Structures are given as structure tokens and as C-alpha cells.
Amino acid sequence: MTDASVDPVAAVTPDEVAEALARLRATTPLVQSLTNIVVAQWTANVLLAAGAAPAMVDNPHEAEAFARVAGGVLVNTGTPYDDTTAAMRAAVTGAQAAGTPWVLDPVAAGGLAWRTGVAVSLMDLHAPTIVRGNASEIAGLLGGLGGRGVDSADSPEEVLDRARELATSRRTVVAVSGAVDHLTDGERLVRVHNGDPVMTKVTGVGCALGALMAGFAAVCDDALLAATSATGLLTVAAERAARAARGPGSFAVALLDELSLVTPDELASGLVLS
């Protein structure tokens, strides 16, 4: 049975995603990433492979000025220290002043009270363009109990109503990752059916997805298109990488290759959106 609240035609088309990828590669947007210590190098490599330009400017002295000139900013709460948390506030302030799109990845929100407060206070400072997280993290921003550490204990389907509520109350796009990614601006919904379970066996795949969203937000006026394009590129590249991989290690290497090799046309024909 068809869900009556979902358009039979996806709110974002594969052709629009292909055009977004072509724009990303043509313009190599500068993506400022204030991310966690586990995934910083991996995130920079994912951005480079996709066609963006990474810069990990995450100290409180430089973060505001850099956010004014960056194409997009990622703020990820995976390993928040006092210094980097101050830098996150500075970056969001700079993003607001210059109109730079910014993406919040509230890693482990809900499970840990202090960082949940940090994530909510950043949203209060200036509404993010996109909030990206796994299902437990999205629920955690609205008072949920969080997942198992940085991993989700819920599915995107289970938190969809809360994702819509968050998108509407914060005037943002909420991107919930999982087996089927659910992306919403509160009214429109895009489901991305691509991906492979091995993506959960390499740390930082979701974190890198947030950085890709910041890159696409630099080249897309529509934040839902930006979030869909990032998710589509990562998951289609992952399917291609998984075909050749023996396990998580060779998959991670192959994923970087496929992010750089997949053409806009191949991306459009591989995407399964609803």
C-alpha cells in the first residue's frame, strides 16, 4: 500500500542529483570541517575524492573568519573538547554573518547530556541548513535516549515523525541515515534506497556524509537536494565499492576510488529514490 503522505514521484529527481555532482566537481567548494578526532583524515579524503576541497579549521581563533569564506561548514560533535566546542560556536557565528550553509552532525546526541546541550545550543545560535544523523541521534535532539554510543538503536522509519517535527520547528532539512535514508524539510520527504551494510563497518562513513552535505549545500540552493545528492553519491559509490571488496578495509579504499570515478550519469542511473 502506498503511503498517502509520500508523493509517487520523489521530491528530488536523479537528474537534479547528477547536475549537483557536476556542479560540485566544476567548482570544488571549500568545506570547513569541525569534526571528531576519529574521522578527520578520512573525512578530508572523502571530500577530495568526491571533488570538494577540505579544510579542517577547528580552533576558536580562526573558525569564525574561515566560516565567512568557506562554501560550507560541517560541525560534528563526535569528540567535543572545550576548545573545539568554542570553535564550533565561532564557526556558526561566522556562517550566520556570511550566509554560509552549515551542517550539524550531532554524534551521540541523546546518550550524553552535555554534548546534547552543545548541539541544541548551536541550533539555537543559528538554524543549521541540514541536521544529519542516525535515527537515535535525531530522536536524541528532541529528548530521546540516544543509541548505543555512536551507533543507532533505531531505524529512520521509527523516528520519521520526530524528524519532520525537528525540520519544521528548526526550519531546517533533517537527514536520517540508515538502511533506507529518510530526508525531509518537514513537508517533502525523499527516501534513498541505495547503500550496503558494510558501510556501518567502517568508522566515520556517516561523519563523512555530513561533510559531503556541506559541500553540496555550497552548490545547491535547495538544502533537500543537497542532502539527497550527498547521500546518493555516497551510497551509490558504496554499492560499487562493496562489489569488489573482501571486507571493511578494502571497502574503505574502494569507496574513495568510486567516489572519484562515478560519473553524474552513472549516479543518476544507479540512484533509487522514492
Ligand X SMILES: Nc1ncnc2c1ncn2[C@@H]1O[C@H](COP(=O)(O)OP(=O)(O)OP(=O)(O)O)[C@@H](O)[C@H]1O
Q: Site residues (CB under 6 A) for ligand TZE?
A: 36, 38-39, 78-79, 107, 150, 203-204, 207
**Which residue type is seen at 164?**
R
Does the protein bind Mg ion through residue 206 (CB under 5 A)?
A: yes
Q: Is the dihedral of CA 235, 240, 243, 246 positive or negative?
A: negative
Q: How far apart are the first and last CA of the chain?
A: 14
206 vs 215 by CB, closer to ligand TZE: 206
* Cα gap 261→259, rounded to integer Å: 6
Complex with ligand X: residue 90 or 227, whichever CB lies closer: 227
132 annotated to a ligand binding site: yes
**27, 155, 203, 250: residue in contact with ligand X (rule CB under 6 A):** 203
Among the listed residues 123, 190, 209, 256, the single contact to ligand X using CB under 6 A: 209
Q: Is 56 annotated as a binding residue?
A: yes
Binding track over 83-112 against Mg ion, x by CB under 5 A = ------------------------x-----
Instruction: State the minimum distance, in angstroms, from the CB of residue 208 to ligand X.
Output: 7
Among residues 33, 77, 85, 134, the one that binds ligand X under rule CB under 6 A: 134
Closest CA to 205 of 137, 252, 273, 258: 252
Q: Detail the residues annotated as belonging to a binding site for ATP.
A: 132, 177
Q: Detail the residues annotated as belonging to a binding site.
A: 56, 132, 177, 204
